[in-house]
Structure 1
Amino acid sequence: MPTQLSELQKITELVISWEALPNDFHLEDEPVENTGQPILAGALRESLEIAGFIQPQMLIASNFGLCATVNNQIIVKAPDWLYIPSVKEILPERRSYTPNLEGDIPAVIMEFLSHTECGEYSFKRTYPPGKWFFYEQILKVPVYIIFDPENGLLEFYQLENERYQLKQPDENGRHWVDSMGLFLGTWQGTKEGRTGYWLRWWDKDGNLLLWAVEKIDKERQEKEKLIEYLLSQGIDPNNLPI
């Protein structure tokens, strides 16, 4: 009985520390599960960049190693997408990140579901712990998002009283991400040859943050409307002073 209690105690008690990875620690290059996932992650970043949201101190990455040491064992998870408000040092070739030691904990983590079961819902406590347990109980990430690209299901979990609570979207089907000052929701359409569901950002006024191709198209339409208006007023657009 004492041995069993001792083993149980090891499982239930977590000693968490934030230590730099050893120089000889091997970070695995996790395989991409399907071609859609990097496109989804890239699209999320692209619209933020175009909107001028991204600042140098922020860290936005995908398939990127998040590290912690739990009960003297190093744990590394690679979320499909993450947002960290501020890091202490800007490193161009960063492959891993240890919260608290190197800066803020991630404010938002996303996982995209695929045909392969990867434990997005796993609350496994023993080594190596499940993703859900790692994000909720070890890193304590405020917002955890699980997205199914096939059917557009967006699950938005918020950390409350040390547990993730599923939140319902607003009347527009969107969720407010307080740490970013933006709404997140789903959208259907085509980009980079992929037709289906996407995750998109909206600002506080409900304006969609555009992708590059959308911004170019919008500017073209505005130019055409201006030319049409000038012509209706008997003004030749080609003779306007520069």
Structure 2
Amino acid sequence: MSVEIATETMPETTAVENWKPAMPPNDLIFDDGEPLETNRHRIAMNLLIRSLQQAWCDRNDFFTGGNMFVYFSIEQVRNKDFRGPDFFVVLDVDGNKERQGWVVWEEGGRYPDVIVELMSPSTAEIDKGFKKNLYERVFRTRNYFVFNPFNPNSLEGWQLDPNFHYQPLAPNEQGWLWCEALGFWLGTWQGTIDRDSTMWLRFYDTQGNLVLLPEEAAQQQAQ
């Protein structure tokens, strides 16, 4: 008996009960071989990741990553749209789980709560246009920021309002932007990291103290 005949002779309720959604692909790509724009972009990404991990070293209920793929739909996989945010944080998840990327359907439908894109002249239009719309309308990411590591005045940020629309964040007197999802400020800091002296994007706590890297925290404790 063909599938068509079987379907016709089945009661309608049985057909509905037996229906199953298409299974998501399990052969995902997690490395496209493309590096970040510059070495400074790489340092800036690692700076955000490592400082947040240091600040929350006693917590295992979050995941932070950078330049790794975020998979959120089968259509995205089919279109080979692989690139992920430069820096992102997901809260209230198992922080001990090993991940090659962030696969939304394997994480209970969870999307990033915070995203930072490290812009360059070639990506600024996409970061503040297409990606901003994606993170607002599909991801519903609570806080989104953009920053060009070669332009200290380029920091911009948005927060999702109750109607799921992004509202621009106003800077404080220091020019910092408040990240409500993390409970930290984001602002610039002049210093040298990995032999590169510039204005870096850093986290600050509610008291205005710099959120330290592991080596900075160790040095402070040794003094």
Q: TM-score range by the shorter chain?
A: 0.7 to 0.9
Which amino acid letter does the alignment assign opposite residue 204 of structure 1?
Answer: T
- Deviation for aligned residue 1:20: 7.1
CA contact (8 A) 1:59 1:87 kept: yes
Which amino acid letter does the alignment assign opposite residue 120 of structure 1?
Answer: D
Structure 2 partner of 1:120: 127
- Alpha-carbon RMSD across the aligned residues, in angstroms, is 2.7
1:170 to 172, 181, 185: 172
TM-score using structure 1 length: 0.70
1:182 aligns with 2:188: no
2:29 to 26, 30, 44: 26
1:77–1:131 distance in 2 versus 1, CA, 3 Å = farther
Equivalent-residue separation in structure 1 for 2:48 and 2:54 (angstroms): 11
Identity level (%) = 30
Equivalent-residue separation in structure 1 for 2:119 and 2:183 (angstroms): 25
1:84–1:54 distance in 2 versus 1, CA, 3 Å = farther
What pairs up with 1:21-170 in 2 under 5 angstroms?
Answer: 21-29=24-32, 30-53=34-57, 55-69=59-73, 72-74=75-77, 76-87=82-93, 90-98=96-104, 101-102=107-108, 104-117=110-123, 119-122=126-129, 130-152=130-152, 153-160=154-161, 161-170=163-172
CA contact (8 A) 2:62 2:94 kept: no
CA contact (8 A) 1:50 1:211 kept: yes
TM-score using structure 2 length: 0.75
Helix, strand or coil at the partner of 2:72: strand
- Deviation for aligned residue 1:150: 1.1
Helix, strand or coil at the partner of 2:73: strand
1:53–1:215 distance in 2 versus 1, CA, 3 Å = closer
- Deviation for aligned residue 1:142: 1.1
Helix, strand or coil at the partner of 2:100: coil
Q: From the CA coordinates, give the structure whose radius of gyration is larger.
A: 1
Unaligned 5+ runs, structure 2: 1-21
Equivalent-residue separation in structure 2 for 1:89 and 1:216 (angstroms): 23
Structure 2 partner of 1:193: 195
1:24–1:184 distance in 2 versus 1, CA, 3 Å = same
